[in-house]
Amino acid sequence: MIFEFTEDAFRRATEHPASISASALVALLHHASESPHTAAYEPVDEPDDAKTWRSRWLSRLDVRLRAEIDASLRSGMTSVVYASPRKARVRVIARQSNLTIKPPELSIDDALAVVKGPFSIWLEDNESDREFLLRLVGHSLRQRLLLLESQASPAVRFEHGGGNVINRQLENLTPLRALRSWAMVDSDREEPSADLPQKVKDIIASSNKNGFRLHVLKRREIENYIPLGALDWWCRNETTYNQQFTADCRSLLVRELTRLDTRSFIDMKIALGRQCAQIFSDNAVGWRPAWFNADGSESEFNELRSSLEESI
């Protein structure tokens, strides 16, 4: 997330350099310049304007506070001229927060609360959906998510929403927590032309109301995205898992699933059971990026990956 600092936020510190707001600003600058965040100046026309902007306000601070803020600015603050225009952002202001506009405006204290909290990835199933997501986002983003999740104070957290109750949990997110939340849900459609079920429509409505970002899968469930190459591997490795089918039966299943329009919406949980998470997590499958391209899912995965990456 980009924390875009306005001049009035700095004015608060210059007017009352010993105030709680000034201390919160120093802490916010420190946290907002660390991964996975970016601290940025409010939009400027030219890069040199950012230097002038910084010098003008630093000159008004007492020596101690000036040194602390200058160190934070130099360690990671940048001009939003160079920031991704699509990446999630908030404006840091000296007034009360206003979350009803875009980009949202946060007071210094609220921005500090947001930047200290983890980024929540809401999933219907925290086991199989997590492995699916980590597999499809690609090596670079996967390693970044795992690193942020493994920190002593995790910057990323995978949340188990529960298939039937995830919307209730998303509806109950506080406004500040919703800013740092992203959700992925199945479409649950049983055929391409079918309307989205009411449960999914309710989640979309919650996203529009509460402000968390949402990706609804185009196919029925995550099982419907297993590429044919991975299904073929699953057929040939009957000793890897405790399968409920004979090898011939599994091979027949894969042949029947070569028609993408059928495979995208049938109930594959019947065939795979709880093995979906194992298939997506197992490097022995020999995962190849070309599988997703041949499977017709590459463009959706690129869209999903961008949505997640821009939200962090």
217-232 residue pLDDT tens: 999 999 999 888 888 7
Q: Tell me, yes or no, whether 166 and 212 share the same domain.
A: yes
Contact 202, 170 (CB under 8 A): no
Q: Tell me, yes or no, whether 9 and 110 share the same domain.
A: yes
Tens-level pLDDT at each residue, the chain (312 residues): 888 888 777 776 556 655 666 677 777 877 776 778 877 766 555 555 556 666 666 666 667 667 766 666 665 555 444 456 678 889 998 889 999 998 899 998 899 999 999 999 999 998 999 999 999 998 999 999 999 999 988 999 999 998 888 999 999 999 999 999 999 999 999 888 899 999 999 999 999 999 999 999 999 999 999 888 888 787 777 555 545 556 666 666 666 666 666 778 888 777 676 788 888 998 888 888 888 888 888 899 999 999 999 999
Domain boundary among 183, 204, 220: 220
Q: Tell me, yes or no, whether 206 and 142 share the same domain.
A: yes
30: its two tokens:
């420190």
In a domain, 76, yes or no: yes
Q: Tell me, yes or no, whether 106 and 10 share the same domain.
A: yes
Q: Determine the pLDDT at residue 32.
A: 76
Domain boundary among 220, 248, 281: 220
Q: Tell me, yes or no, whether 245 and 234 share the same domain.
A: yes
Mark out the alpha helices in the chain (DSSP H runs). Answer: 7-15, 20-32, 47-58, 63-76, 108-116, 128-136, 139-150, 166-171, 175-179, 198-210, 228-236, 247-256, 260-263, 269-272, 276-281, 289-294, 298-311
- Of residues 165, 144, 138, 167, the one with CA closest to residue 156: 144
For the chain, give the percent of residues with pLDDT over 70.
73
312: its two tokens:
């962090």
**Do the strands 105-107 and 156-160 form a parallel or antiparallel pair, or are they unpaired?**
unpaired
29-68 residue pLDDT tens: 777 767 788 777 665 555 555 566 666 666 666 676 677 6
- Verify cis geometry, omega within 30 degrees of 0, for the bond prior to 103: yes
State which residues form the domain around 187.
Answer: 119-220
**Residue 53: burial class (beta carbons within 10 Å; 0-12, 13-18, 19+):** middle
Q: Tell me, yes or no, whether 179 and 214 share the same domain.
A: yes
In a domain, 230, yes or no: yes
In a domain, 301, yes or no: no
In a domain, 11, yes or no: yes
Residue 132 burial (CB count, 10 A): 24
- Of residues 141, 152, 135, the one with CA closest to residue 225: 135
Q: Tell me, yes or no, whether 173 and 103 share the same domain.
A: no
Domain boundary among 220, 241, 260: 220
Q: Tell me, yes or no, whether 8 and 64 share the same domain.
A: yes
Q: Tell me, yes or no, whether 7 and 110 share the same domain.
A: yes
In a domain, 55, yes or no: yes
Q: Tell me, yes or no, whether 20 and 48 share the same domain.
A: yes
Helix 20-32 with 63-76: angle, nearest 10 deg = 20
Give the chain's domain count: 3
Q: Determine the pLDDT at residue 285.
A: 86
**Residue 152: burial class (beta carbons within 10 Å; 0-12, 13-18, 19+):** exposed
In a domain, 311, yes or no: no
Q: Tell me, yes or no, whether 126 and 180 share the same domain.
A: yes
Q: Tell me, yes or no, whether 124 and 216 share the same domain.
A: yes
Q: What is the pTM of this model?
A: 0.85
